[in-house]
Structure 1
Amino acid sequence: MAKIKKGDLVQVITGAKQDRGGDRGKQGTVLEVLKDSDRVVVEGVNFVTKHTRVGQSARGSREGGIETVEAPIHISNVALVDPETKKPTRVGHRVEQVEKDGVTKTVRVRYAKKSGKDL
């Protein structure tokens, strides 16, 4: 079961600090999870400049030029943010019984463990 999913609020825990031009400490939501390469794309983190050529797309003409986009970051470099304390935390799973339309089903549910000290 994946610990980080699309739409989760995560914080970058490694790399250069923000005062040195890095992304450590920044928080953002996960836009995409790339399972094959164990990477995630986080909104507002790890911007790269991309040079695009003038060409045609399926919906019409496309302008060329320089644009900045978010690049993937390894999943081990981000931590899930606890919704209560707004600090990075570890993720656990627990088994719960869920009843829907009279049928009881056993499911695994993610939960944020206690976040004492910053990771």
Structure 2
Amino acid sequence: MAKIKKGDLVQVITGAKQDRGGDRGKQGKVLEVIDGGQRVVVEGVNYITKHNRIGQTQRGTKTGGIETYEAPIHISNVALVDPDSKKPTRVGFRVEEQVKDGVKKTVRVRVAKKSGKDI
């Protein structure tokens, strides 16, 4: 089971500080998890600029120019944010038995290590 999933609130824990133009300390929502769970794209973090060649579509509109978007960063450089304290926390798992329609099923639940609350 993955510790960080799409839609989670995470904080960047490595890199240059914000006063030096970096992203450390920024919080954002995970937009997607790629490369088999090794990289994440975080909203508002790690912006890059891409120059696209100017072209023309069938309708005659211009395409291309300069685009900025979020690039992926390694999953080890972000930490999940505890919903209570709004600070980065480590993630553990708790095994529970869930009964649904008379059938027992064992599930793992993500838990914040500091507060012990479900995430």
What's the TM-score bracket when you normalise by the shorter of the two chains? 0.7 to 0.9
Q: Secondary structure at the match of 1:49?
A: strand
Are 1:15 and 2:15 an aligned pair?
yes
- CA distance change for structure 1 residues 21 and 108 in 2, over 3 Å: closer, same or farther? same
| Contiguous gaps of at least 5 residues in structure 1 | none
Q: Distance in 1 between matches of 2:56 and 2:100?
A: 49
- CA distance change for structure 1 residues 9 and 99 in 2, over 3 Å: closer, same or farther? same
Task: Please give the TM-score of this superposition, normalised by the length of structure 2.
Answer: 0.87
| Percent of aligned pairs sharing the same letter | 80
Shift of 1:26: 0.1
Once the two structures are superposed, residues 35-92 of structure 1 have per-residue CA deviations (whole angstroms, 9 ceiling, x without a partner) of 33711000000000011123478xx966110010000001100000000000000000
Q: Secondary structure at the match of 2:110?
A: strand
**4+ runs deviating over 6 angstroms:** none
| Contiguous gaps of at least 5 residues in structure 2 | none
- CA distance change for structure 1 residues 111 and 37 in 2, over 3 Å: closer, same or farther? closer
Residue equivalent to 2:2: 2
Are 1:87 and 2:84 an aligned pair?
no
Alignment coverage as a number of residue pairs: 113
What is the aligned-residue RMSD (CA, Å)?
1.9
